[in-house]
């Protein structure tokens, strides 16, 4: 197994910074906008983005929720083991709001499809945009494309893109490409 | 998430502690689903479930039906009163005829103990026992455990007294298995005639004095007197039963600690529990009903995982 770092701490900070400025450009004061982090990993990124937006705009009340899509997946009874559900925590309605889905890696697009189903339980959004840190090109199984991309990566199916945030296991944030 | 170790939910006795914890954890997620503006998920959209009720039920049947619909399953209902069972059809024939119409799962309540086990061994479908005679009522025990966990934080180490007609209660037996597997201590309390002779072999305490039981426990589960199952008189009169084993506000308030009061329903107000206790903030009876839907969704979701998929 080999591991290649494709995004180090510095590049990641720059990218997240850029993504935040792009969001500010399109959403101004965020009064009609909500951020939705896709559980489990997208929520970590969404928290970072919310924090960064707060620093850049001094707006304290940018709404952030976490969305779990386990029960909306299209591969129920097709996997060896059922996936464990995570918590959905959305304490506001998204009716007529501009929703930004935030996920770390966009691969087949099926999670985002399930997310679009799941978010309807909280109202009918005005529109939904998609922000991803890593876009794995050429591997989409559904017609889904991101609006904001940190970095585009070309990887084959046997490779895995791993986003790790500084914490217990690792000292600095990084994104790596793992070859089995 | 793991899978359940069983293919059918016949009783709590066959489940492992891990199974029970998996069901309760999954139910937490479903509880958040049923509290959303839109209370539905599409997980079971390609599953058809038959609810076979050979015995009367309001709450359980409604709860199962809601759970199924909120998982987007297709549902067919069947009650013995209006069926061919009256014309002499056997249980296996009835169920096989229903399964021939491409039904994937069966939820069954039956007056005979062991009916669910018998069915699970003889038909090709996932079986969920919704109560079989005086034997088991597994989803009730799971929702009781879920409600205790929700109110007290955990089940392990807690003391639970089950009060009333233990002999005729499937809720009592399933609760004993479930709570013990989760590490709780269980006591049964009631008149000697309504407590099975060898029940202490299950590792439960037996008490005949209600006050002593209530002073001991953290949670009291008050059961209904099942007059419809009692073929002989087990106590002189309901009035006497209420005097000795009915829980009223005066008794509840005189205890040295605040206990949680549960009841699986239907309540006979003024018999095993007084109105002011049933409506007090110590009673979690309506929470139990709400949790019932979430727990049944979890059970159906986890068992549906085991339904064979038709390969095309």
B52 pLDDT more than 90? yes
B2 pLDDT more than 90? no
pLDDT band at B311 (very low <50, low <70, confident <90, very high): low
Residue B108: the pLDDT is: 95
B69 pLDDT more than 90? yes
CA B54 – CA B108 distance, rounded (Å): 8
Beta bridge partners of B108: B52, B129
The three-class DSSP label of residue A173 is coil
A85 pLDDT more than 90? no
Task: Return the residue matching tokens 């409506």.
Answer: B279
B125 pLDDT more than 80? yes
Q: CB of A93 within 8 Å of any CB in chain B? A: yes
Say if CB B41 and CB A69 are below 8 A apart: no
Residue B229: the pLDDT is: 72
Domain ranges, ordered by start, for chain A: 9-155
Q: Please indicate, yes or no, whether residues B198 and B255 belong to a single structural domain of this protein.
A: yes
Q: Please indicate, yes or no, whether residues B154 and B123 belong to a single structural domain of this protein.
A: no
Q: Please indicate, yes or no, whether residues B154 and B42 belong to a single structural domain of this protein.
A: no
CB-closest option in B25, B36, B307 to A122: B36
Which chain B residue has its CA at the smallest distance from A73's CA? Answer: B43
CATH of domain A9-155: 3.40.50.2020
Q: Please indicate, yes or no, whether residues B131 and B147 belong to a single structural domain of this protein.
A: no
* Degrees, nearest 5: CA angle B122-B124-B127: 80
pLDDT band at B190 (very low <50, low <70, confident <90, very high): very high
Mutate to test the interface with B, among A85, A97, A118 (most CBs of B within 10 A): A85
CA B218 – CA B149 distance, rounded (Å): 12
How far does Cα B186 stand from its chain's mean position? Answer: 16
Q: Tell me if B312 is assigned to some domain.
A: no
Active-site residue flag, B36:
no
Residue B84: the pLDDT is: 63
Contact B3 A81 (CB under 8 A): yes
Q: Please indicate, yes or no, whether residues B209 and B143 belong to a single structural domain of this protein.
A: yes
B17 pLDDT more than 80? yes
Find the catalytic residue in B8, B61, B137, B158. B137
Q: CB of A117 within 8 Å of any CB in chain B? A: yes
A1 pLDDT more than 90? no
pLDDT tens digits, one per residue of B226-264: 877 777 788 888 899 999 999 999 999 999 999 999 999
Contacts of A84 in chain B (CB under 8 A): 1, 25
Q: Tell me if B7 is assigned to some domain.
A: no
**Percentage of chain B exceeding pLDDT 70:** 96
How much is the mean pLDDT over chain A? 91
B83 pLDDT more than 80? no
Q: Please indicate, yes or no, whether residues B170 and B85 belong to a single structural domain of this protein.
A: no
CA A69 – CA B20 distance, rounded (Å): 23
* Among A146-150, B7-11, B98-102, B142-146, the least confident range: B98-102
User: Comparing C-alpha atoms, which of B247, B254, B258, B176 is closest to residue B210?
Assistant: B247
Q: Tell me if B241 is assigned to some domain.
A: yes
Contact B43 A76 (CB under 8 A): yes
Q: Tell me if B180 is assigned to some domain.
A: yes
Q: Tell me if B195 is assigned to some domain.
A: yes
Q: Please indicate, yes or no, whether residues B121 and B214 belong to a single structural domain of this protein.
A: no
CATH number reported for the structural domain that contains residue B53 in this entry? 3.40.50.1370
Q: Tell me if B1 is assigned to some domain.
A: no
A81 pLDDT more than 80? no
Contacts of B32 in chain A (CB under 8 A): 87-88
Contact A70 B37 (CB under 8 A): no
Q: Please indicate, yes or no, whether residues B104 and B244 belong to a single structural domain of this protein.
A: no
Chain A nearest CA to B61, separation (Å): 23
Q: Tell me if B6 is assigned to some domain.
A: no
A170 pLDDT more than 90? no
CA B194 – CA B206 distance, rounded (Å): 11
Range of the domain at B273: 138-289
Q: How many domains does chain B have?
A: 2
**Percentage of chain B exceeding pLDDT 90:** 74
B82 pLDDT more than 70? no
A159 pLDDT more than 80? yes
Q: Crossing angle of helices B138-152/B59-70, nearest 10°? A: 80
Residue B191: the pLDDT is: 94
Where residue B157 falls (left for φ over 0; alpha for ψ -120 to 50; beta otherwise) is: left
Q: Please indicate, yes or no, whether residues B181 and B268 belong to a single structural domain of this protein.
A: yes
């Amino acid at each position: 197994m080999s591991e290649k770092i494709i995004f180090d701490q510095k590049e990641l900070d720059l990218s997240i910074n850029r993504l935040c400025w792009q969001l500010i450009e399109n959403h101004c004061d965020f009064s009609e906008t909500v951020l939705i982090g896709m559980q489990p990993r997208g929520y970590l990124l969404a928290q970072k983005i919310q924090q960064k937006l707060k620093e850049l705009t001094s707006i304290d009340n940018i709404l952030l929720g976490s969305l779990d899509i386990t029960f909306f997946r299209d591969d129920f009874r097709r996997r060896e083991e059922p996936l464990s559900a995570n918590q959905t925590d959305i304490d506001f309605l998204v009716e007529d709001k501009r929703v930004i889905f935030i996920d770390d890696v966009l691969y087949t697009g099926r999670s985002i499809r399930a997310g679009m189903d799941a978010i309807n339980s909280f109202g009918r959004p005005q529109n939904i945009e998609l922000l991803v840190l890593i876009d794995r090109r050429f591997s989409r199984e559904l017609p889904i494309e991101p609006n904001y991309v940190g970095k585009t990566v070309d990887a084959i199916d046997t490779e895995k893109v791993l986003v790790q945030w500084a914490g217990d296991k690792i000292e600095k944030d990084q994104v790596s490409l793992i070859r089995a | 998430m793991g899978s359940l170790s069983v293919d059918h939910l016949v009783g709590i006795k066959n489940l492992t502690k891990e199974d029970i914890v998996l069901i309760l954890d999954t139910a937490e997620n479903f509880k958040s689903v049923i509290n959303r503006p839109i209370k539905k998920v599409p997980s079971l959209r390609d599953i058809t479930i038959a609810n076979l009720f050979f015995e009367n039920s309001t709450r359980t049947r409604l709860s199962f039906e809601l759970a199924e619909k909120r998982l987007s399953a297709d549902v067919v209902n069947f009650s013995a009163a209006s069926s061919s069972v009256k014309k002499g059809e056997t249980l296996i024939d009835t169920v096989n005829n229903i399964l021939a119409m491409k039904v994937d799962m069966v939820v069954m309540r039956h007056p005979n103990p062991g009916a669910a086990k018998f069915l699970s061994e003889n038909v090709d479908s996932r079986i969920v026992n919704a109560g079989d005679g005086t034997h088991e009522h597994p989803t009730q025990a799971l929702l009781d455990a879920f409600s205790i966990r929700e109110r007290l934080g955990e089940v392990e180490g807690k003391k639970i007294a089950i009060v009333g007609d233990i002999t005729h209660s499937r809720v009592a037996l399933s609760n004993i298995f479930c709570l013990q597997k989760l590490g709780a201590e269980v006591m049964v309390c009631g008149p000697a005639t309504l407590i099975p002779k060898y029940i202490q072999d299950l590792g439960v305490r037996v008490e005949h004095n209600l006050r002593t039981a209530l002073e001991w426990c953290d949670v009291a589960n008050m059961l209904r007197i099942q007059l419809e199952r009692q073929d002989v008189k087990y106590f002189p009169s309901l009035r006497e039963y209420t005097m000795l084993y009915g829980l009223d506000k005066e008794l509840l308030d005189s205890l040295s600690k605040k206990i949680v009061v549960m009841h699986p329903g239907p309540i006979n107000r003024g018999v095993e529990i007084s109105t002011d206790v049933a409506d007090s903030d110590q009673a979690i009876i309506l929470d139990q009903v709400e949790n019932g839907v979430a727990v049944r969704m979890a059970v159906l979701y986890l068992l549906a995982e085991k339904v064979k998929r038709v390969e095309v």
